Structure 1
Amino acid sequence: MTFLFFFSALGAFNGFLLSFYFAINAKKKIFTNYFLSLLLLVLSIRIVKSVFFYFNPHLSSIFIQIGLSACILIGPFLFLYLKSYSDEKPNWKKHIIPYLAIMTALGIFYPYVEHLEIWKLFIVKAIYLQWFIYIVFSFKYIGPIIQKTNKKSSLKKLEVWFLSIYLGVAFICLAYIVAAYTSYIVGALSFTFVLYLIILLLIFRNSNESTFFNEKEKYQNKEIDKATLLLIDQKIVLIIENELFVNPNFNLEEAAKELKITKHLLSQYVNEILGKSFSSLIKEYRVEKAKRLLETEKNYSIESLGYDSGFNSKSTFFTAFKKITGLTPAEYQKSYSK
């Protein structure tokens, strides 16, 4: 029993340490790490509650309520973390503030200690259901990575990291759901197990590749020679001339194949010479295409023009267009018609 307590409690303790680490890392202008930090924080709070309640059933009901309340934020923080790395800007207030208000109201009007049966029969089940629903919603950002594994394509380090975080949280959620049929400590033990797998990923990542927390790559070759620069200058124009970017799945790897240069060299060129990420460059090309279509095509919906420009969803099209032009597609079309 002592070993069981130590192993499960240690996972929660390390979760707090990692949460603090990512919060500090987020200060380096990597805002998405705040969501990761908060995700680990609420997970750790939930696990601490599980550990101490398992070994001390007479634990203060207020502490139990805090642990269960933290659980309602696990799903939203997972969703916000994954979404923050996509083309979509997450609206964290919509996903956090309502749940904070609900749990505060429940704590005031239906405290755990006075309404134990209501919590067990309804509220706790609703919390786990909400957690599961957010895991389903988050799959939108993991699906393309899983498709790459099915096609036996190599995954980027960042993609491996996202997949690990997602599957880890999903596994912990499942462990808590089945805990009613096995043991209450299963969720805490699963968190410890998943956490140490994540720590191993951190330790063994290749230091000369992009880290899990910063998409800008570090390059061993600090300069591209002039002849190579000229060659890439000539070749990269083909992306525009052949409109390769209208393929919604067009990525750095595909571009390197089309231009017959290495992926590493193309990435270095775009990052260091053009001063942007490859995904940002492609979004700019797509927005320029969309602008031309908005100026000339009047019989098609704005959404369809976005798809014709290479965007894979309405939201990514509207977000990218607004960010680059300062106008929504509808506003741009209207201004051009005047």
Structure 2
Amino acid sequence: MFLGVVQSFFLAFVLLLRSSNNIGLRWFGASILATALIFLDVYVCYTGLIKYVLFLNDSTEALVLIIGPTLYLAIYCFLKREDVTFKKHWWHFVLPIGYFLSQIPFYLAPISVKYNAYIGAYYSKFPSAKIPESFNHGYHYIKDIFDWLVLVTFLFYTILSLKMVWEEKSRLTEIGVKNRSSKYIFTRNTVAVLFLLLVIIFMVYYSFDDDGGDHYLGIFHSCLAFLTTYVLLSESRFFEKSWVADKYETIGQSKSDLNLASIESYVDENKYFLRQDASLNDLASTLKVHPNHISRIINQGKHSNFNDFINQKRICFSQGKLVDPNFSNLTIEAIGALAGFKSKSAFYTAFKRHTETSPSAYIKSFSPKL
């Protein structure tokens, strides 16, 4: 369990420090940091080290209610491709903040209260300490339903996350994308883990009183910490041969095997241009060649760079959808997103550059004239 806690802290700090331009990874890192603090608390309780910091007993309970919201917001950023701010999504944190405020009397309670709470959970046969008669135990009303709050929170955010992944799957199927992006697969697996965690929490709460089964959750957390590290390292370019390749060195596929026709064939057949995360490095990694080699082929064959090459295909796709009656219920911005553009401004700029007209003017040109 201790190794899992250490690994979680390391992973959380890496994600929080190295993902300044990716809000989704920051929320994911915040979730991992919360779990690291929670299971550090569990570890010191199981080992008896809590006696040195008894005043911190049960101080991480509110963080348990943060795991669901932070994982959901990370998935939201990945799939909706929108940044999430606390100002806009504050309501997700009403429950954990409310629970924290309700437990302030316990946090400020005499050490004897903390001692009794600890031995009551782990050593019920030990004698309890004497508590001042004037002490108010009103906080127990909320504390007694903490397990139910955890289960309801995890169930709620599992359903929300599952709904979002299902909608993304339907969207990709609708536009004919066969190969799922790494981002989609990662979020789908995250939802699966969230559901599995919900099941394990329910089984532990059902089988044990108080905190008796937390070590099972700790084992699951440790395995998950190392598995997450493995997944993130697997996605890193560090292990790709192209990471240390010479400028025009190709990997796996020789220069003679790759040409403009084969590149276009892959991009068109797999609807690669519809992916918002489409990039020269990603395509090169998929085709197992150096990015500069693909760039040179496109430059020579199309007299344009990679971004223009991809945007041209996106514009052709969007032109068909803009005048298709089956897509008349979608806004211009939605069709732009469907075509792979990350923002409305990017879509309008690319559309005007390639067609010398705006999307709205293009639609009007196909409207019946009265």
Same fold (TM over 0.5): yes
Task: Determine the structure 2 residue equivalent to 1:189.
Answer: 219
Structure 2 residue 36 is matched with structure 1 residue 44: yes
Query: Which of 9, 28, 33 is the matching residue for 1:16?
Result: 9
Please say if residues 287 and 321 of structure 1, whose CA atoms lie closer than 8 Å, have aligned partners that are also in contact: no
CA–CA separation in structure 1 for the residues paired with 2:190 and 2:232:
12
- Determine if contact 1:131/1:173 at 8 Å carries over to the other structure: yes
Residue identity matched to 2:226: Y
Change (3 A) 1:269 1:325: farther
Which SS does the other structure have where 1:72 is aligned?
helix
Q: TM-score, normalised by structure 1?
A: 0.61
The aligned runs of 1:169-188 (5 Å cut-off) are 169-182=194-207, 183-188=213-218
Describe the superposition over 1:239-278 as per-residue Cα deviations: whole angstroms up to 9, x where unpaired.
Answer: 89x89849979x99xxxxxxxxx8234976667867668x
Provide the C-alpha distance between the structure 2 equivalents of 1:138 and 1:90, rounded to a whole number of angstroms: 16
Stretches of structure 1 lacking an aligned partner (at least 5 in a row): 1-7, 148-152, 211-216, 253-261
The alpha-carbon deviation at position 40 of structure 1 amounts to 0.9
Question: Which secondary structure does the structure 2 equivalent of 1:179 belong to?
Answer: helix
| CA shift for structure 1 position 19 | 0.9
Name the structure 2 match of 1:285.
Answer: 313
Equivalent runs, 1:1-338 vs 2, <5 Å = 8-27=1-20, 29-54=21-46, 63-64=57-58, 66-86=59-79, 88-93=81-86, 96-109=89-102, 111=104, 113=106, 114-121=138-145, 123-139=146-162, 140-141=164-165, 165-182=190-207, 183-201=213-231, 207-209=238-240, 218=243, 220=245, 222-223=247-248, 232-233=259-260, 245=271, 263-265=287-289, 285-291=313-319, 293-294=321-322, 296=323, 301-303=328-330, 311=338, 320-325=343-348, 332-333=359-360, 337=364
Give percent identity, aligned residues only: 11
**Alignment RMSD (CA, Å):** 5.3
* Conserved 8 A contact 2:24-2:76: no
Moved more, 297-306 or 71-80: 297-306
- Describe the shift of the 1:202–1:169 C-alpha distance in structure 2 as closer, same or farther (beyond 3 A): same
- Checking the alignment, whether the CA contact within 8 Å between 2:68 and 2:153 is kept in structure 1 is yes
- Counterparts of 1:300 and 1:33, CA distance in 2: 33
1:86 Cα deviation (Å)? 3.7
Q: Secondary structure at the match of 1:93?
A: coil
- TM-score, structure 2 length as denominator? 0.57
Which residue type is aligned with residue 132 of structure 1? L
User: Number of paired residues?
Assistant: 295
CA distance in 2, matches of 1:293, 1:158: 25
What's the CA shift for 1:22? 1.9
Specify the SS of the correspondent of 1:107: helix
Deviation for aligned residue 1:209: 3.0
Q: Secondary structure at the match of 1:180?
A: helix
Q: Distance in 1 between matches of 2:39 and 2:144?
A: 18
Larger radius of gyration: 2
Letter in 1 for 2:144: K
- Counterpart CA distance in 2 for 1:137 and 1:271 is 41
Residues 165/85 of structure 1: CA separation in 2 closer, same or farther (3 Å cut): same
Unaligned runs of 5+ in 2: 107-137, 173-177, 208-212, 279-285, 351-357, 366-370
Write the distance in 2 (CA, Å) between the matches of 1:33 and 1:234. 36
